[in-house]
Amino acid sequence: MNDVRREILERELLAQPVRGLQYMLRRLSEVYEFLPQLATDGIFGERTLEAVMLFQREFHPPVTGVVDRGTWNAIWAMWNRLERQISAARTLRAFPSEGARVEPGDEEEYLILPQTMFQVLARHLNGITEGVARGIHDQISADNVRWLQHVAGLEETGSLDRETWDLLARLYEIFVVRELEQSRQRFIGGWG
């Protein structure tokens, strides 16, 4: 992945950089036990600083606690490898076969799912327009697909294909599913 693509992904897909950093380090802590389990609260506090310094000590010296471009890229690269290993089996298989494409103007019932995912992601990410999930790949739907293709450094066709679907599913997991899991964990404490 070239630097321009990486920079676009960092800026757009991880629109909240501290939360994104915390999320990536939290995922890495599932494999590397020396990293602390972080809350993705968006606050660069003591626990986040500790995690950054431990990461730097083990993988990317010197230990400064500063998340400069080199540290960010090292964390991003390790997280990306981990996600490919772990998340590949979790990819939602609701999209048709590998070569399928949904062109602007097409009508397919299964489009309701990605359109709904874009609706929810619009609350978390800038650049997505909240449209109606009705299974028609209309202008708003195609524009949302173009936005995703843009931030991922893909050709901006507006056509929904397997690669774009997989990116959408990953974003949804990062910004929605993880948030739900964290809310559920906070609730488990009971009512009292």
Q: What is the pLDDT of residue 94?
A: 67
| Residue 95 domain flag | no
pLDDT at 48 over 70: yes
Do 83 and 144 belong together in one domain?
Answer: no
What pLDDT sits at residue 11?
57
Task: Answer with the one of 32, 56, 90 that is the final residue of a domain.
Answer: 90
Nearest-angstrom CA–CA distance, 143 and 80? 26
Work out the pLDDT band at 76, boundaries 50, 70, 90.
confident
Report phi then psi at 31, rounded to 5.
-105, -40
The pTM for the full model equals 0.51
Q: What is the pLDDT of residue 157?
A: 95
Query: Which of 70, 90, 110 is at the close of a domain?
Result: 90
Does 58 have pLDDT greater than 60? Answer: yes
- On whether both 105 and 182 belong to a single domain, the answer is yes
Q: Kindly tell me if the per-residue pLDDT of 152 is higher than 50.
A: yes
Residue 96 belongs to some domain of the structure: no
pLDDT (0 to 100) of residue 185:
46
Q: Quick check: bond before 96 cis, omega within 30?
A: no
Cβ neighbours, 10 Å, residue 5: 13
192 pLDDT higher than 60 = no
User: How far apart are the C-alpha atoms of 30 and 23, rounded to whole Å?
Assistant: 11
Q: Are 59 and 122 in the same domain?
A: no
d(CA 110, CA 27): 30
17 and 66 within one domain? yes
pLDDT at residue 45, as a whole number: 93
Residue with more model confidence, 188 or 148: 148
Backbone φ, ψ for residue 161 (5° rounding): -125, 180
Q: Given a cut of 60, is residue 91 above it in pLDDT?
A: no
Give how many domains the chain has, as a whole number: 2
How confident is residue 167, by pLDDT bands cut at 50, 70 and 90? Answer: confident
Cβ(183)–Cβ(133) below 8 Å: no
Mark whether 17 and 70 lie in a shared domain.
Answer: yes
What is the C-alpha to C-alpha distance for residues 25 and 51, in angstroms, rounded to an integer?
Answer: 7
For residue 158, what are the domain limits?
Answer: 101-187
The answer to whether residue 63 sits within a structural domain is yes
